[in-house]
Amino acid sequence: MANRLDAKVAVVTGTGSYPGIGHAIAIACASEGATVLCTDLDEMGAQACAEEIKREGGKAHFLRHDVSSPSSWGEVLEYTKVELGPLDVLVNNAGIAVLKSLDDLTLDDFRRQLDVNLVGPFIGMRSAIPYMRGTGGGSIVNIVSIAGSIGSPMGIAYGASKGGLWAMSKAVAVECAPDNIRCNTVHPGTIWTNMLAVSTGATAPTEVPFASSVPLKRVGDASDVANAVIYLSSDESCYVTGAEIYVDGGITSQVGLSRPIETAG
């Protein structure tokens, strides 16, 4: 255990999946001294994450949470206020990947994708920021994806959700900076989690078909993403807002297209 997040309260969404990025972030936040509220649609998964933290001597709570629901966010904020105190860190990690070609993608699919990955973090920030403002500020970390800045087949809905989250995060960063609220993004590449296992059919990181095309020659581990989140959550990054950290083993540097949104329109 270290103390980079000592005495801080962190809400992390999507912690119920193992291996999963939210799980790794929650574990890392707790090991740096934060009290972590682990949330997920999968209540038992969030509970398992919180119990793992407590077994290791950390401080954790859990709640069932649908990030696409304003009332569910209301419960998360109410729990935080009553049980935990000022909210220092919000990590919008929960996400789904609706990977379909344009011909197969229905309007309902598209809306469901945006509801979880884009509207969810919007409701979360809309709920948390007034509270953070009243308690002296905070740090928001939104988990984007390299799919928010490079195109891929079947990535129309997913890419739209992540590109939108990236752009929204920059606007929040600028608007909320005077309130000492920072907002940054982390952009994972190919990370070994349940989501990647389902989308590739691999049963181990070494089986992921495109691992060899990653410049660092491996699929990332969820802890690689968590390490970036810890930096952005901690006071070490107190002069950093509106920034992005790519945790992608060099994929976006290879294609040289890491910033198309900023050059469009």
Q: Which residues bind ligand NAP (CB under 6 A)?
A: 13-14, 16-17, 20-22, 40-42, 45, 65-68, 93-97, 116, 143, 145, 188, 190-191, 193-196
E strands, the chain, are: 9-13, 35-40, 59-64, 89-92, 138-143, 181-188, 244-247
Residue from 18, 158, 231, 246 carrying the catalytic annotation? 158
Residue 74 pairs in a beta bridge with: none
For ligand NAP, the nearest residue by Cβ is 95
Closest approach of ligand NAP to the CB of residue 219, in Å: 8
Told to judge if 239 belongs to the known catalytic residues of this protein, a careful annotator would answer: no
Report the residue number, 95 or 163, with the smaller CB distance to ligand NAP: 95
Cα(10)–Cα(29) distance, integer angstroms: 7
* Cβ atoms of 67 and 38 closer than 8 Å: no
Residues near 35 by beta carbon (within 8 Å), at least 6 away in sequence: 8, 9, 10, 59, 60, 61, 84
Closest approach of ligand NAP to the CB of residue 9, in Å: 19
Closest approach of ligand NAP to the CB of residue 180, in Å: 26
Report the residue number, 38 or 137, with the smaller CB distance to ligand NAP: 38
* Cβ atoms of 227 and 21 closer than 8 Å: no
Amino acid at 101: S
Closest approach of ligand NAP to the CB of residue 225, in Å: 7
The tokens for 24 are 């790794």
Report the residue number, 37 or 137, with the smaller CB distance to ligand NAP: 37
Report the residue number, 97 or 156, with the smaller CB distance to ligand NAP: 97
Query: What are the phi and psi torsion angles at 48 (to 5°)?
Result: -60, -40
The tokens for 51 are 């119990």
Catalytic residue IDs: 158
